């Protein structure tokens, strides 16, 4: 029976079910598409024979809102949705967003802040002893003690605050099925402590082996250095092959225990996940509210991989999906493409073929498949590892097959392209074909900054790599006869960036005639190295101090410098240049960023007239060999004669 999973008791009855095995409570609207985590988890469980019902965005102030199906046989699953609920609700300036793309009609306020915690407690009030399993991006990245930017404090593991029994972290297809099978076989939830990719709490470490004890929660609260050390230990244990079990002590003799990450899916397992009978849309009940906007970007896109060995410090992918690339087969992706092509709304354009990083289609090196990722170095930073396998032939072959499908006009690449990986490839074939076939006039890339000081804290390659990429991109497009441009994503106020580096970036933009429309202030989201730097003022990789701009006004100045041409930013830019002793960039010279304070259009006009006078003097002396005074009289005479002729024509 291919249909949406039940969202009410009537749907249950239609299927002939008298009780569900699991009730899945989610913070998003119900969208049954493989780009949405809850859809994958629910369909995986369904494929294993379990009966699942969906409660989307329940009223968290009403206990009865999670009781619409009655008591499930095995337990509750909880996810805040495809995003952390706080990122979904607030901008980096902590202002409430005006629209929620994962809610019908974009209405804000349909889910609570810290949704995983709120939903978990809501269920626990109604069903005190029923197993509660939390998962999704919010739970995954808050699985141990973590810094919460919005409350500006260190919070406990979300497992404790939500009163859940088990936390499934990362991509949970394997772990959720193992948990379900264990519950189904009659094992008490308190004894399900052996599943990889899960976190549990206990008062005894008797059955926990080969573990690392992290600083206790009390120790973390007392000294930020302890948190930096703890975080980096966690970061170095995110690999399924080499990662150890981690134990975090809490007051009252409680331990939060993190089992090693679940192994990456094989290609066959990935294919199975994406071949499940998704409806590929939001539930029709939302049509009356205007639908769910989040589907628009992914409805005609294809996911080809998971994981990322790029290792950007501001990104949480290492914690959530891991650094080992997992890919789908060409056959699987092409079959999904055919489904997309037959959709009535398809216009011939596949919007994207990729994943976290589009041009990663295999593990960074062969060692990763048997021994895991290195804990003492990154694959691309600061330089590409000598063992890195750089090739684009498989991805290129996939794109060519998709381009040839009947009904496909264009296949775009809109996922992140790792430009340093492209530059490390001696074969330019992919680069040329990407420019020729897979760009719609603009290619979005993410250098993030141009100062090598900041790039080091970002975990990004030196600026010289990006400059080389820009030159090659321009040369290839010129040869192709295509007027295509780069749209760089830039970040302000990242740890390590002072006003000096922010001005360096502004000068780069000036010299390259760039005017970014969008700028992202650094957003300290849970479980990233950059957020650890922001909270502690320490780089956890080196344990050395790093500059962090915490002051909102200081952050505003750095952001304004990137958009120094915007008149609204004048005062902030002026103040920043004065504070940095760079008043040489205030003036009328072409190297200046802004004009002097109070300089009016009249002043600019005087300056332009002065420049014109100098030009006339040069013309008089060099072109005509006469004095400037005589040249000026001739010009005035010609001007009067021209005015008289125009007056005569008007009368005629």
- Spatial CB neighbours of 249, under 8 Å, sequence gap ≥ 6: 213, 214, 216, 217, 255
Is residue 302 within a helix (H) or strand (E), and if so which, with residue range? strand 301-303
Using pLDDT thresholds of 50, 70 and 90, give the confidence band for residue 413.
very high
**What is the reported pLDDT for 324?**
95
Q: Are 354 and 303 in contact (CB under 8 A)?
A: yes
Cα gap 522→470, rounded to integer Å: 24
Cα gap 22→71, rounded to integer Å: 9
Q: What is the pLDDT of residues 517-564, one digit of tens each?
A: 778 999 999 999 999 999 999 999 999 999 999 999 999 999 999 999
Q: What percent of the chain has pLDDT over 70?
A: 94
How long a stretch of residues is the chain?
Answer: 652
The half-sphere exposure of 433 on its side-chain side, counting CA atoms within 13 A, is 16
Q: Which of 303-317, 526-540, 621-635 has the lowest mean pLDDT?
A: 621-635
Secondary structure (3-state) at 515:
coil
What sign for the dihedral angle of Cα 622, 623, 627, 632? negative
Instruction: Look over the chain and give the mean of its residue pLDDT values, rounded to a whole number.
Output: 93
Q: Checking DSSP bridges between strand 132-135 and strand 31-32, what pairing results, if any?
A: unpaired
Q: Distance of CA 438 to CAs 218, 349, 444, 529, 562, Å? A: 52, 11, 12, 33, 29
Q: Are 87 and 97 in contact (CB under 8 A)?
A: no
Mean pLDDT calculated for residue range 371-386: 92
Using pLDDT thresholds of 50, 70 and 90, give the confidence band for residue 633.
confident
Residue written as tokens 């922010």? 502
Cα gap 328→273, rounded to integer Å: 10
Secondary structure (3-state) at 153:
strand
Residue 266 has phi, psi (to 5 degrees) of -75, 170
Is residue 85 within a helix (H) or strand (E), and if so which, with residue range? helix 85-89
Q: Are 292 and 141 in contact (CB under 8 A)?
A: no
Secondary structure (3-state) at 245:
strand
**What is the reported pLDDT for 625?**
60
Q: Which of 145-149, 178-182, 256-260, 624-628 has the lowest mean pLDDT?
A: 624-628
Of 204, 141, 129, residue with least CA distance to 168: 141
Using pLDDT thresholds of 50, 70 and 90, give the confidence band for residue 635.
confident
Mean pLDDT calculated for residue range 214-233: 97
Q: Are 190 and 165 in contact (CB under 8 A)?
A: yes
Mean pLDDT calculated for residue range 617-625: 57
Q: What percent of the chain has pLDDT over 90?
A: 87
List the beta strands (DSSP E) in 238-295. 245-250, 254-258, 281-282
Q: What is the pLDDT of residues 125-183, one digit of tens each?
A: 999 999 999 999 999 999 999 999 999 999 999 999 999 999 999 999 999 999 999 99
């Amino acid at each position: 029976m291919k249909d949406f999973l039940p969202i009410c008791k009537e749907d249950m009855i239609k299927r002939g079910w008298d009780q569900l095995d699991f009730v899945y409570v989610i913070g998003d609207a119900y969208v049954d598409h493989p780009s949405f985590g809850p859809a994958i988890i629910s369909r995986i469980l369904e494929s294993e024979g379990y009966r699942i019902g969906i409660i989307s965005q329940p009223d968290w102030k009403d206990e009865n809102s999670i009781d619409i199906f009655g008591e499930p046989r095995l337990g509750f699953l909880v996810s805040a949705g495809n995003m952390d609920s706080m990122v979904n609700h607030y901008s980096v300036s902590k202002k409430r967003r005006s629209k929620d793309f994962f809610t019908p009609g974009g209405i804000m306020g349909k889910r609570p802040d810290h949704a995983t915690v709120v939903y978990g407690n809501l269920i626990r009030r109604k069903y005190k002893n029923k197993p509660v399993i939390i998962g999704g991006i919010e739970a995954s990245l808050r699985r141990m003690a973590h810094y919460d930017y919005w409350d500006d404090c260190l919070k406990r593991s979300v497992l404790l605050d939500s009163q859940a029994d088990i936390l499934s972290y990362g991509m949970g297809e394997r772990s959720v099925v193992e948990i379900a099978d264990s519950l189904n076989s009659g094992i008490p939830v308190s004894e399900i402590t052996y599943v990889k990719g899960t976190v549990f709490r206990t008062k005894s470490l008797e059955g926990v082996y080969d573990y690392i004890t992290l600083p206790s929660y009390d120790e973390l609260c007392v000294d930020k250095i302890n948190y930096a050390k703890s975080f980096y230990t966690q970061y170095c244990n995110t690999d399924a092959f080499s990662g150890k079990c981690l134990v975090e002590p809490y007051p009252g003799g409680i331990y939060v225990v993190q089992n090693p990450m679940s192994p990456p899916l094989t290609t066959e397992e990935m294919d199975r996940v994406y071949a499940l009978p998704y409806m590929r849309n939001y539930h029709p009940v939302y049509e009356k509210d205007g639908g769910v906007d989040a589907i628009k970007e992914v409805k005609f896109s294809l996911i080809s991989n998971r994981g990322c060995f790029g290792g950007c410090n501001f990104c949480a992918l290492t914690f959530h999906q891991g650094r080992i690339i997992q890919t789908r087969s060409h056959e699987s992706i092409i079959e999904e493409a055919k489904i997309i092509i037959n959709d009535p709304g398809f216009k011939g354009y596949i919007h994207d073929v990729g994943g976290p990083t589009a041009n990663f289609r295999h593990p960074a090196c062969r060692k990763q498949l048997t021994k895991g990722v290195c804990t003492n170095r990154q694959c691309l930073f600061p330089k590409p590892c000598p063992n890195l396998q750089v090739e684009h032939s498989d991805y290129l072959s996939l794109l060519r097959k998709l381009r040839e499908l009947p009904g496909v006009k264009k296949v775009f690449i809109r996922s992140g392209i790792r430009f340093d990986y492209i530059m490390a490839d001696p074969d330019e074939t992919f680069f040329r074909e990407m420019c020729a076939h897979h760009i719609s006039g603009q290619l979005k890339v993410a250098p993030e900054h141009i100062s090598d000081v900041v790039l080091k804290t970002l975990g990004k390659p030196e600026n010289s790599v990006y400059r080389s990429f820009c030159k090659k991109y321009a040369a290839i497009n010129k040869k192709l006869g295509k007027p295509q441009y780069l749209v760089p994503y830039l970040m302000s106020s990242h740890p390590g960036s002072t006003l000096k580096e922010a001005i360096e970036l502004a000068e780069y933009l000036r010299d390259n005639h760039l005017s970014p429309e969008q700028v992202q202030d650094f957003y300290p989201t849970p479980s990233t190295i950059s957020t650890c730097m922001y909270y502690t003022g320490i780089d956890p990789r080196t344990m050395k101090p790093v500059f962090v701009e915490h002051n909102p006004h200081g952050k505003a100045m750095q952001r304004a410098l990137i958009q120094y041409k915007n008149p609204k930013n004048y005062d902030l830019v002026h103040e920043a240049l004065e504070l940095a002793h760079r008043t040489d960039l205030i003036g009328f010279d072409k190297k200046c960023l802004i004009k002097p304070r109070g300089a009016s259009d009249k002043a600019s006009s005087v300056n332009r007239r002065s420049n014109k006078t100098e030009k006339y003097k040069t013309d008089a002396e060099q072109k005509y060999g006469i004095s400037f005074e005589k040249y000026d009289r001739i010009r005035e005479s010609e001007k009067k004669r021209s005015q008289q002729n125009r007056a005569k024509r008007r009368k005629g």
